[in-house]
């Protein structure tokens, strides 16, 4: 099965997360496999520490607008990958639970993260997941995305509606 799909702005490459736990890059329109992304590094868990279980399939993926990097979320882990060779460039954690949705702002400096069961959209620095600000919504957020000019943040909720926010404030 397929868990998430993301395409580059020019629609020449597509990322797909698959049930076997991996993410792969495909060349379009030929639908030719370009590369598989590196597996997540093993996690170190201290005695007595609990880790939220996650499925084998990545939950959300997003491609940096310039096509150089991608984020792949698996549970609360967010891995930053090179689109050139699939290597892991860095890793950070969701600020509030399993990731449901990721969206990269057009300028590449901000990522919107929606976690399962959360009525907040977290705006984060993509390099390390540092919190920039949070946008509260009326109900559980399910997805978020930026307008092409980056000025508007759209948030879809469990109520079925979409709310538009000024992305800067």
Q: Are 75 and 35 in contact (CB under 8 A)?
A: no
Indicate if the pLDDT at residue 157 is higher than 90: no
Walk across the sheet containing 111-115 and list its strands. 99-104, 111-115, 120-124, 131-136
**With bands split at pLDDT 50, 70 and 90, how would you rate the model's confidence at 70?**
very high
C-alpha dist (Å) from residue 103 to 31, 46, 50, 53, 111: 23, 32, 28, 23, 6
Q: Encode pLDDT of 83-125 as tens digits.
A: 999 999 999 999 999 999 999 999 999 999 999 999 999 999 9
pLDDT at 147 over 90: yes
Most confident of 15-29, 35-49, 72-86: 72-86
Q: Which letter does DSSP use for residue 111 in this model? A: E
49 pLDDT more than 70? no
Please report the sign of the dihedral spanned by the C-alpha atoms of residue 23, residue 25, residue 28, residue 32: negative
In contact, 108 and 65? CB cutoff 8 Å: yes
User: What is the reported pTM?
Assistant: 0.87
């Amino acid at each position: 099965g397929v868990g998430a799909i993301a395409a580059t702005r020019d629609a020449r490459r597509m990322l797909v997360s698959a049930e076997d736990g991996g993410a792969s890059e495909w060349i379009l329109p030929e639908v030719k496999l370009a590369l598989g992304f590196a597996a997540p590094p093993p996690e170190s868990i201290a005695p007595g520490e609990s880790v939220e279980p996650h499925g084998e399939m990545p939950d959300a993926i997003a491609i940096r607008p310039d096509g150089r990097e991608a984020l792949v979320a698996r549970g609360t882990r967010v891995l930053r990958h090179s689109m050139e060779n699939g290597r892991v460039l860095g890793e950070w954690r969701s600020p509030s639970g399993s990731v449901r949705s990721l969206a990269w702002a057009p300028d590449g400096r901000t990522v919107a993260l929606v976690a399962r069961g959360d009525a907040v959209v977290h705006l984060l620095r993509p390099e390390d997941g540092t919190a920039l600000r949070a946008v509260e919504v009326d109900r559980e957020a399910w997805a978020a995305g930026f307008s092409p000019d980056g000025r508007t943040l759209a948030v879809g909720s469990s109520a079925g509606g979409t709310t538009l926010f000024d992305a800067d404030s």
